[in-house]
C-alpha cells in the first residue's frame, strides 16, 4: 500500500476496510452474501459485542443464507472489516 491509497473505502455498497474490499469480498464462499444482507445486520442486529481489540461484532439472522451472519466492523461501528456465516452462533 502506498501513502496515497486509502485505508477504507466509502459506499457503495458500504464503508469497508482495504482488507474487506480486496480480500473478503473476493472469496468465492462469500459471494452469496449480498451487501443488503450486511447492511441489514448492521441496522438490526440480534446481538452486538464490543471486542477487546476495539472492533465491534454484529450478528443477524439472514434467512436466505440459512443462518446467522457475523459482521465485524472497526470501532466506528460502520466500517466493515469482515463478514461470514457464523455456523456456531446461537442467539
Q: Which one, of 19, 26, 34, lies nearest residue 73 by Cα?
A: 19
- The answer for 44, left when phi > 0, alpha when psi is -120 to 50, beta otherwise, is beta
What pLDDT, on the 0 to 100 scale, is given for residue 2?
A: 55
Q: Is 28 exposed, middle or buried (0-12, 13-18, 19+ CB in 10 A)?
A: exposed
**pLDDT tens by residue, 42-66:** 999 999 999 999 999 999 999 999 9
What pLDDT, on the 0 to 100 scale, is given for residue 3?
A: 56
Record the pTM.
Answer: 0.92
Residues of the chain with pLDDT under 70: 1-5
What pLDDT, on the 0 to 100 scale, is given for residue 7?
A: 83
Q: Which one, of 72, 68, 40, 42, lies nearest residue 56 by Cα?
A: 72
Amino acid at each position: 500500500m502506498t501513502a496515497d491509497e486509502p485505508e477504507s473505502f466509502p459506499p457503495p455498497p458500504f464503508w469497508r476496510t482495504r482488507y474487506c474490499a480486496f480480500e473478503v469480498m473476493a472469496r468465492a464462499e462469500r459471494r452469496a452474501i449480498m451487501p443488503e444482507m450486511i447492511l441489514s445486520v448492521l441496522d438490526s442486529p440480534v446481538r452486538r459485542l464490543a471486542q477487546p481489540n476495539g472492533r465491534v461484532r454484529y450478528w443477524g439472522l439472514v434467512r436466505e443464507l440459512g443462518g446467522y451472519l457475523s459482521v465485524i466492523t472497526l470501532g466506528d461501528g460502520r466500517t466493515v472489516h469482515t463478514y461470514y456465516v457464523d455456523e456456531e452462533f446461537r442467539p
